[in-house]
Every structure is written in structure tokens, then in C-alpha cells.
Amino acid sequence: MRRPFIIGITGGSGSGKSWLAEKLVAHFGPNVASHLEQDRYYRDQSQTPPAAAAQTNFDHPDALELELLRNHLQQLAAGNPIEAPIYDFARFSRRAETQTIRPTPLIVVEGLLVLHEPSLAKLFDLSLFVDAPADIRLLRRIRRDLQERGYPLERILEFWETRAHPMFERYVRPQADHASLIWRSLEDTAFVPRFLADLETRLAPHAQQDKRTG
């Protein structure tokens, strides 16, 4: 098996990076593409008092165990499966069970800060920053946190003003300077088809090798 082609997708909360990652996996199928979310790697806080855990700044690099993500990505790149953690945002802790993710020709890694740590960023063959206006990102974050995480609206708005937006300016936005590509998602509506076609070309050697070894 050839070394997987690894893509890193980053951008602000609500920018559409998760949507794009899922679009890639759906296009190529689970036998070709795997999706590894950075959100799995938030630090476990099961031993932290709930009131203190609820104040976690999830938009700060310190909230993430990026070294474990890097280690897992290195294992996938070497052709080995991993046991990826599953994070429970309602309890601010990792679940006891894990999810097996196997190496595939295309591995899509997506999250707020996947290009923040240089030793992690260098593992990507291609990186992409998804750019979207702040008001759109806020609306999407409100919808997600209400529906998927059960957070009250007041908490969502407070965290956006005091944490998410400042952290975006400090840590997330600067990653655009290191990305291979920048997608302005509301302006460039033709980007996704072009991107998919480009990836099909890049993955062609994998398909040819599969035919020879199959």
C-alpha cells in the first residue's frame, strides 16, 4: 500500500470545514477516504469538577491533546489502524469506548487548529483553510451547539464573544498563511468540483497500484 495522501482542513468554527471533509469522504467512499476529526482529541476532564470543566476554552490549543493526534496520524501514514477517542461534549470527557480508523488512500484531518502545531502540519500533503464571514460562522455555531451539544444560547453567545472570536484572531486565522489553499466558501462556489477533480488525479497512482496488487 502506498503512503496515504493526507489532507488537513482548518478554518474558524462554523466555516464549513466539517462539511467539506464529509463531502470528500462521501465522494470517494469509505474504502478510499477516512475522516479524522480534531474534536476527538480534546483533553479528558472526567476528574475535573463539572463547573470548572464547563468553563473550558475549547478554542484554545491547550484544550487539545495535539500530540496524540500527531501520533495517530503518523500511525495511519505508516499503514497502521488507530483507536481514535470519542469525546462527549455534554460531559467534557472522553468515552470509554474508541473507534477504529483504518488507513485508506485518502485521509482527511479536520479541525480548528490542525495547522497550528508545526510538527503536525508537516504531516499533511495538502492543507486547506476554509474562510467564511464571522456572522455566518456565528449562526452555524449557534445551531450546532444548540442541537448537538445542548448548550444554552446565553452560554454560546458569551463564549463566542469572550473566547471563540478572540481565539480565532489569535490562533485560527494565522493558519491561513501556512495553508496550501484558501477557500472563500461563500464566494467561490466552483471550488468543490475543482478540488474533487484535483484529488482524483492525485489519487490515481493509488488506484493503479490496487489494480496491480489486487
pLDDT at 209: 62
pTM of the model: 0.92
Helix (H, G, I), strand (E, B) or coil at 38: helix
DSSP H or E stretch at residue 212 = helix 191-213
**What is the overall mean pLDDT for the chain?**
93
Q: In angstroms, rounded to a whole number, what is the distance separating the alpha carbons of residues 18 and 2?
A: 26
Percent of the chain with pLDDT over 70: 96
pLDDT over 70 (residue 213): no
pLDDT at 210: 55
- In the structure, what pLDDT confidence band is assigned to residue 1 with cuts at 50, 70 and 90? low
Number of domains in the chain: 1
Q: In angstroms, rounded to a whole number, what is the distance separating the alpha carbons of residues 105 and 31?
A: 8
CATH number for the domain that contains residue 203: 3.40.50.300
Q: Which domain holds residue 188?
A: 5-213
- In the structure, what pLDDT confidence band is assigned to residue 116 with cuts at 50, 70 and 90? very high
pLDDT at 94: 95
- Over residues 117-175, the pLDDT tens digits come to 999 999 999 999 999 999 999 999 999 999 988 889 999 999 999 999 999 999 999 99
